[in-house]
Amino acid sequence: MLHPKIRALTEKIRDKELRKKVVELLENPVFEVGGKAYSGLPLNIAPAGLSHHHCYPGGYIEHIISATNLALALCNSVEKVYHGKVNRDLIVAGMLLHDIFKPVTYTVNENGSYGTTGLADYMDHLSIIISELVRRSFPLELIHVVSAHHGEYGPIRPHTIEALICHLADLMDSRLNGEVLNAAAYLIRKAVGEELPGLTSKEAFEIIHSKAAEGWDGVAKTVEKIKKKRAARKT
Ligand SMILES: [Fe+2]
Ligand SMILES: [Fe+2]
């Protein structure tokens, strides 16, 4: 089942044929090679990173929604402030698909932590999505947007405004999330001298808010609150 917020974003794609192709891939993100089909953690519960950002259940969906929103905000700036032109279909489709094969490379270890699948030893999420976009005859402009989303660290730098916007939005969202998780982990260590593994963005923002509102005591109280909530969820 496609997440309702992801479905709503697909409806922003005006080109019917492109929208159909995007939805088909989103609904069935399976990668086949040598007659073997690879499917990973379901998109709705997968993380979008193993350690630096969005590394908790649901992180993948949060990243896609947030990065797409940021990309659309950049489109507004380009169009309304700089009087430039942007193809929003490429932006939305690019953001929705850019990391779709990350979950195929992730697995859950016995202790609940995330690890990588056998496929990940041979291919990374970017190579997988590019080969799949080519195989499914997606437009070249969209293939470029997705290939360039890692910017200077990827196989090609952004050469179109749509590719640049998607790269920046992706980077911005990963940094925003990663910095907040790091800051919260630091505050927790300083306040109570221990770690809270698997911190979600919601918990991290609560910790940061509690420090601003009530100082170190606030952080300690919030850590206790989070632990109780987690324990209640397990029972
Ligand atoms: Fe990526
Ligand atoms: Fe991403």
Average pLDDT over residues 140-155: 97
pLDDT at 40: 83
95 alpha carbon to ligand 2 midpoint, in Å? 8
Q: How confident is the model at residue 113 (pLDDT cuts 50, 70, 90)?
A: confident
**233 has pLDDT over 90:** no
DSSP string, 5-74: HHHHHHTT---HHHHHHHHHHHH---EEETTEEE--S-TTT--S-SSSSS-STTHHHHHHHHHHHHHHHH
6 alpha carbon to ligand 2 midpoint, in Å? 15
Domain ranges of the chain: 4-176, 178-234
126 alpha carbon to ligand 1 midpoint, in Å? 6
pLDDT at 52: 86
Give the pair of three-digit tokens for residue 124: 């990374």
232 alpha carbon to ligand 1 midpoint, in Å? 34
Give the pair of three-digit tokens for residue 225: 């609150």
Average pLDDT over residues 4-16: 98
pTM higher than 0.75 for the full model? Answer: yes
100 alpha carbon to ligand 1 midpoint, in Å? 9
Considering just the CA atoms, what is the radius of gyration of the chain in Å? Answer: 19
156 alpha carbon to ligand 1 midpoint, in Å? 13
100 alpha carbon to ligand 2 midpoint, in Å? 9
**pLDDT for 163-201, tens place per residue?**
999 999 999 999 999 999 999 999 999 999 999 988 999
Phi, psi of 115 (to 5 degrees): -140, -170
Least confident stretch, 61-75, 88-102, 112-126, 145-159: 112-126
**207 has pLDDT over 90:** yes
pLDDT at 39: 83
Query: Above pLDDT 70, what percent of the chain?
Result: 100
What CATH number does the domain located at 4-176 have?
Answer: 1.10.3210
228 alpha carbon to ligand 2 midpoint, in Å? 32
35 alpha carbon to ligand 1 midpoint, in Å? 25
